[in-house]
Amino acid sequence: MSKPWQLYALHILDAIAKLRRIQERGDITQDDILYDATLRNLQTLSEATQLLPDELKTKFPAIPWRQISGFRNILVHNYLGNIDPLTIAAVVVQHLGPLEACTRSMLDESNSRDP
């Protein structure tokens, strides 16, 4: 029996919250510990998005679900060699907000249907 998708959505939000706290601690392009923590949380976040139901993700076409999945594979398997810290920093700054808003919307919609 699989877990309810809402647990994965909450996991995404938790990873985003951790990424924001990492940002507050310093520059990931200058601190390898913060950079490693960022990579780990992006991996966790990306894995959790893969476990959301496809029929739910199709309601949010502005989110690049397939690219997030591919990004996870790059993070985990390091296909491209050394991953560029500037690119990772840009991903955090540019893409977390829309994913967070989408995930919250999914959960809000789910909660409004529950008695």
pTM of structure: 0.89
Domain boundaries, given as residue ranges, for the chain: 5-113
Per-residue pLDDT of the chain (115 residues; tens, 9 = 90+): 478 999 999 999 999 999 999 999 999 999 999 999 999 999 999 999 999 999 999 999 999 999 998 888 888 777 556 678 998 999 999 999 999 999 999 999 988 876 5
Catalytic, 104? Answer no
Cβ within 8 Å of residue 47, ≥6 positions away: 72
Catalytic, 113? Answer no
For the chain, what's the residue count?
115
Contact 63, 102 (CB under 8 A): yes
User: Which of 11, 40, 66, 77 is the catalytic position?
Assistant: 77
User: Which of 72, 95, 104, 113 is the catalytic position?
Assistant: 72
pLDDT score, position 82: 64
